[in-house]
Amino acid sequence: MLTKRQYDLLMLIDENLKTLGIPPSFDEMKEALGLKSKSGVHRLISSLEERGFIRRLPHKARAIDVIRIPDNIEDTRASSKEMPIMTPVNHIDNAFDKIPLYGKIAAGTPIEALRDDNEFVAVPPSMLGLGEHYALQVEGDSMIEAGILDGDTVIIQKTNTSENGAIVVALVDGFEVTLKKLFCRKGRVELEPANHNYETRVLTPDRVSVQGRLVGLMRNY
């Protein structure tokens, strides 16, 4: 299934290839789609490639082939068996709430989460509790034993506190963000993975702040 924005980008690339012989630049894609950052373009390109609509050629700049094109966006919705994770704001059904998708979070090596105010996720109201919520896309495998896989979308409730053993979004040293189990023990903070191949990080409390608590998960099959 394609969202409207994915479909618009696919048609933009195809039109440029037909008329100019090259795909648009990332800056041109960003402007055409009304995005505020290139990170949004990267996510759309990756999603189109994963679904088999385009192919990126290695070791070449601006090298994208269009493999196939749906007749229209309605056809992609009718023929797809996938449940959507990301839905354009104007097309969210009344039975769902929308929350912002802030970007990717590492479930392995910490990376800074990228906020993009142009992307949202449609979630059932029953998945949300009190307060504000946001979504992050998981990158990595350090939480697989907790059922959190690479590519999953996690739903996070904003909070700066959490009980021991909860899975939280932790900010380390003011710039690294990671998804881990949190334990506070004897003047230290432990960020524990759910994968025996990774080691627990032990830090002083002044180096860690809680940015949110995991309350839900969504996945495409």
User: What per-residue confidence (pLDDT) applies to 102?
Assistant: 82
- 112 is a domain residue: yes
Full domain range(s) for residue 201 = 89-218
* Distances in whole angstroms, Cα of residue 148 to Cα of each of 66, 78, 108, 139, 154: 32, 29, 12, 10, 8
> Which of these three, 79, 114, 146, is where a domain ends?
79
User: What per-residue confidence (pLDDT) applies to 79?
Assistant: 38
State pLDDT tens for residues 77-114: 433 333 333 333 333 444 578 888 887 886 665 544 45
User: What per-residue confidence (pLDDT) applies to 115?
Assistant: 59
User: What per-residue confidence (pLDDT) applies to 105?
Assistant: 82
Q: How many domains does the chain have?
A: 2
User: What per-residue confidence (pLDDT) applies to 190?
Assistant: 95
User: What per-residue confidence (pLDDT) applies to 207?
Assistant: 93
Distance CA 95, CA 156 (A): 20
Give yes or no: residues 212 and 134 share one domain. yes
Give yes or no: residues 68 and 122 share one domain. no
User: Which residues are known to be catalytic?
Assistant: 142, 180
For the chain, which ranges sit under pLDDT 70?
A: 1, 58-62, 71-95, 106-118, 220-221
